[in-house]
Amino acid sequence: MKSKLIKGRMGDWEVVIGMEVHAQVTSQSKLFSGASTVFGGEPNSQVSLVDAAMPGMLPVINEACIKQAVRTGLGLAARINLKSVFDRKNYFYPDLPQGYQISQYKSPLVGEGEVVVDLPDGETVRVGIERLHLEQDAGKSLHDRHSSMSLVDLNRAGVALMEIVSKPDMRSSEDAKAYVAKLRAILRYLGTCDGDMEKGNLRADVNVSVRKPGAPLATRCEIKNLNSIRFIGQAIEYEARRQIDILEDGGEIEQETRLFDPAKGETRSMRNKEEAHDYRYFPDPDLLPLELTPDYVEDLKAQLPELPDEKKARFVRDYGLSGYDAGVLVAERETAAFFEDVAKGRDAKAAANWVINELAGRLNKEGRDVAASPVSASQLGAILDLISAGTISGKIAKDLFEICWREGGDPRAIVEARGMTQVTDLAAIEPVIDEIIAKNADKVQQAKSKPALISWFVGQVMKASGGKANPKAVNELLKSKLGL
């Protein structure tokens, strides 16, 4: 496990990171109104009288959103609070006509939980969840549509967000990136948020402070609204270094809210951090406290899908995969399902290798999702069957995969039609071997004292046969011919 400490002029520093993630709830309508949440509509075409805060309009809670938030809480192994309260967070919001955001403050819907994060080097970090609450999103101010005025699009105003607050349990940008990736995977498995960071449906506010190892928590800065995992990493790296430089120069960190500039890779000050009491939170008099029955929560719990950690454990147990391979396969539910279709009744380790290396590598190269893979699970399965039956070699299989990718078709028919069948017939291989042995008397001599040289001979025969000779048959025949 490599050290996460950052080197300064005056020794090592530890960075402490906590995160508030805003995740848009997957729901057809908004948190307190029936207006649509579909992305990309004409500006202000999805605004109800409630969202526009017309006089006398009253909010009505959307049960679908409550259900999604409770399911998310259960997926984060968190306590569900059977009684929670909606509060008004008062602030000047140019794009939220109410003049306050309906959120939850003292009594959130979901309490403490945990996300287990696996790092690429094999370390496991447990990130505590402090709480999850429901709140409204704001609309969007448009500053580039008119030469002298700002316009506002309220389509997003009132859309349900889950604010998921972590404990300050992360100690490096790698921890933070892996945490967001894992959280996103859990939400996508649950179907409670689509995790689309480009559309802003999942965005993170990151709290960063630095301290001498073992020292108490220091003053933090909050970097707002990061909408890519890469930016989260860059912003933390920059911010930690900035704070270390200030402290080593004898300065102090001021608690503030900062913005990340992706073009420059820097954070810059946005405003001094306000305290919770500045918002004058109070329970929204238009809404009753939200009360759930234990049965309601138990029912939802019983219907949760298999989540990434459970699936990973099952892949290790039932398919004999390594923890690393299983972790890669379960990161996206669609990839895990593809793997299971290929592995059914076949060598699971071979299936995992093909999905992780050939398929995922090829998909990445073209920036495609597994759902849009030109090679289907049944095609890849047929390729694996051809290998295990000894009909084609592993090398030819890669060519076959490429043909299926580009042209489609039944792998068995392609092998047949193009004469890609592996040659296991010793009578056909023998003359090739004899010729190579005859031409390389020196190497034959060397092989007597250095048997590992046989792999060089195998390579030559495979080359001469255009990759079609059966490596196992070649190996055996060579051994007897070379007297090894």
| Unique residue bearing structure tokens 């004409």 | 42
354's tokens: 């093909």
Q: Which stretch binds Mn ion (CB under 5 A): 158-166, 236-244, 270-278, 385-393?
A: 158-166
Which residue's CB comes closest to Mn ion?
Answer: 163
Measure the CA–CA gap between 160 and 101, rounded to whole angstroms. 11
Q: Which is nearer to Mn ion, 95 or 163 (CB)?
A: 163
Q: Which is nearer to Mn ion, 279 or 296 (CB)?
A: 279
Query: Which residues make beta-bridge pairs with 129?
Result: 113, 166
Q: Which stretch binds Mn ion (CB under 5 A): 87-95, 159-167, 212-220, 395-403?
A: 159-167
Q: Which stretch binds Mn ion (CB under 5 A): 33-41, 155-163, 275-283, 314-322?
A: 155-163
Q: Which is nearer to Mn ion, 23 or 326 (CB)?
A: 23
* Interaction between residue 196 and Mn ion (CB under 5 A): no
Question: Mutual orientation of helices 471-482 and 454-464 as an angle, nearest 10°?
Answer: 130
- Min separation Cβ 204 and Mn ion, Å: 11
Measure the CA–CA gap between 22 and 458, rounded to whole angstroms. 57
Measure the CA–CA gap between 337 and 334, rounded to whole angstroms. 5
Residues of span 223-262 touching Mn ion by CB under 5 A: none
- Min separation Cβ 412 and Mn ion, Å: 56
Q: Which is nearer to Mn ion, 163 or 306 (CB)?
A: 163
- Min separation Cβ 169 and Mn ion, Å: 20
Measure the CA–CA gap between 303 and 451, rounded to whole angstroms. 59
How many residues make contact with Mn ion (CB under 5 A)?
Answer: 1
- Min separation Cβ 103 and Mn ion, Å: 6
Q: Which stretch binds Mn ion (CB under 5 A): 45-53, 157-165, 186-194, 396-404?
A: 157-165
**Strands in 240-378 per DSSP E:** 256-261, 266-272, 282-283, 290-291
- Min separation Cβ 140 and Mn ion, Å: 16
**Strands in 34-94 per DSSP E:** 83-84, 87-90
Q: Which stretch binds Mn ion (CB under 5 A): 156-164, 191-199, 281-289, 397-405?
A: 156-164
- Cβ burial of 92 (10 Å; 0-12, 13-18, 19+) is exposed
Hey, how many other C-beta atoms are within 10 angstroms of the C-beta on 76?
A: 23
- Cβ burial of 83 (10 Å; 0-12, 13-18, 19+) is exposed
Q: Which is nearer to Mn ion, 13 or 32 (CB)?
A: 32
Q: Which is nearer to Mn ion, 94 or 409 (CB)?
A: 94
- Min separation Cβ 115 and Mn ion, Å: 19
Backbone angles phi, psi at 241, to 5 degrees: -65, -40
Helices (H), 21-151: 63-75
Q: Which is nearer to Mn ion, 205 or 399 (CB)?
A: 205
- Min separation Cβ 89 and Mn ion, Å: 8
Q: Which is nearer to Mn ion, 141 or 388 (CB)?
A: 141
- Min separation Cβ 309 and Mn ion, Å: 27
Q: Rounded to an integer, what is the distance from CA 274 to the centroid of its chain? A: 32
Count of residues for the chain? 484
Residues contacting residue 254 through CB under 8 Å, at least 6 positions apart: 219, 221, 272
Measure the CA–CA gap between 198 and 16, rounded to whole angstroms. 26
Cα distances from 413 to residues 53, 169, 325, 390, 421, in angstroms, run: 65, 55, 31, 16, 11
- Min separation Cβ 163 and Mn ion, Å: 4
- Min separation Cβ 298 and Mn ion, Å: 29
x/- mask, Mn ion, residues 337-376, rule CB under 5 A, reads ----------------------------------------
Q: Which is nearer to Mn ion, 39 or 105 (CB)?
A: 105
Q: Which is nearer to Mn ion, 139 or 308 (CB)?
A: 139
Residues contacting residue 302 through CB under 8 Å, at least 6 positions apart: none
Q: Which is nearer to Mn ion, 281 or 456 (CB)?
A: 281
x/- mask, Mn ion, residues 276-295, rule CB under 5 A, reads --------------------
- Min separation Cβ 20 and Mn ion, Å: 7
* Interaction between residue 205 and Mn ion (CB under 5 A): no
* Interaction between residue 163 and Mn ion (CB under 5 A): yes
Query: For residue 348, which of 328, 326, 375 has the smallest C-alpha distance?
Result: 326
Give the DSSP letter of residue 423. B
List contacts with Mn ion (CB under 5 A): 163
